[in-house]
Each structure stands twice: as structure tokens, then as C-alpha cells.
Amino acid sequence: MSKIAGRKTKVDRDKALAILQENVESKQIIRHCFAVEASMRSYAEKFGEDIERWGMIGLLHDVDFDKYPENHPEHARQLLKDYDLDEDFIESIVSHGTGKENMRNSQVRKCLFAVDKMASFIVAVALMRPTRLEGLEAKSVKKKMKDKAFAKAVDRDELIASMDDLGIEFEEHVRIIVKGLSEHEELLLKQGYSLLN
Ligand SMILES: [Fe+2]
Ligand SMILES: [Fe+2]
């Protein structure tokens, strides 16, 4: 599959954030979208892909969740069609939905699925630590994954399966995500947001 199928999006990050804010009121969802954005940027850097594009796919992946939770993420197609976003961009977003395994046929899509729950899980682990993300290692995350009472809504088997599908080891997965979250936090703070406050 080509990196970018069809027309390339002209939307930049400011515009993508404006689209998110137009459609999502929940601060919790917006914060989750930032965490996924940060992780996607970090993965794009690792894979030598388009950092801005991967980041925006992460930023907008739950754009329909606040208003259309029962039809999420299918409704993103409808919601995003009037913006200058290409088809592969939108379909990549739709591919993270339940039962969309067949759509997860490219690295960006596998990556989105693998970081979706893990990014917020790692933020939750960081929030329990005095030093937050600083020095956060895979072993601390692994410990919390074994703690069934912690973030119990997160399906551990799915976290592992999505990582395997991407072909990444647990330690590296955590390292890449922590790096992305730490770097992105600096930008977010300048814009009046935070993953950690
Ligand atoms: Fe979602
Ligand atoms: Fe999500």
C-alpha cells in the first residue's frame, strides 16, 4: 500500500486541533487524543514516516466519540468529509474501531490501534508517580498491567495483541510512547494544555 493513497491532506495541526475542539467537549477525550497524537508522532519518527500526518491521525482518531459514541469511529467518515482530508487519512481513523481488523493493513493503522489504549494507560501510570513520565520504565507499566484493579476497563490481552500485530516488543513500545508523551507535553503546556495536570 502506498504511504498516502490519493490526494494528500492540506490540513495542518492547528486546523486539526480546531476540528477536534469543534466536535469534542469532553476534556478527558481531548486529553486522550493528545496522548495518542504524541505516541503516533513518536512512532512516525521511529519509522521515518510523516510525523505531522501520523500525529494528526492520532489527534483526530476519536473526533466523533463525544457526539456519536454508539456509531464510533464509523461516524468520523461523515464528520470529516467536509474538511480537506484525504481518504486514507479518514479510513485510517475508522480502522481503529472494534471489528475492523481487516482494515488494519498498514503500519499507520496497526500503530494507531497499538497506541490507542496504551498511551492513556501509560499516562495513568505516570500520574501515580511523583516524577510522572520522567524515568518511567517498562517494568513499572508491566507491574500495573498485572494489577487487575488498575485501569480495569483496559483489556490487557488487546494491548498485547495490538503490539504483536505491529511487531514491537513491550519494552520498546513503552519507551517510544513515553518519549512521545514527554516531548509533546512541552508543546501542550505552551498551548495551555497538559497530559498530566
Ligand atoms: Fe476510539
Ligand atoms: Fe481512542
pLDDT tens-digit map of 144-192: 999 999 999 999 999 999 999 999 999 999 999 999 999 999 999 999 9
Q: How far apart are the C-alpha atoms of 11 and 176, rounded to whole Å? A: 25
Q: How far apart are the C-alpha atoms of 87 and 109, rounded to whole Å? A: 13
Q: How far apart are the C-alpha atoms of 24 and 189, rounded to whole Å? A: 20
Cα separations in angstroms, 13 against 33, 34, 43, 105? 13, 12, 17, 25
| CB distance 103 to 52 below 8 Å | no
- The yes-or-no verdict on residue 6 having pLDDT over 60 is no
Going from the N-terminus, what domains does the chain have, and what CATH number goes with each?
A: 13-190 (1.10.3210)
Nearest-ligand number for the alpha carbon of 117: 2
- The yes-or-no verdict on residue 14 having pLDDT over 80 is yes
- Quick one: cell of 108? 499507520
Question: CA 171 from chain center: how many Å?
Answer: 18
Between the CA of 29 and the centroid of ligand 2 the distance, in Å, is: 8
Neighbours of ion ligand 2 (CB under 5 A): 62, 116
Between the CA of 170 and the centroid of ligand 1 the distance, in Å, is: 22
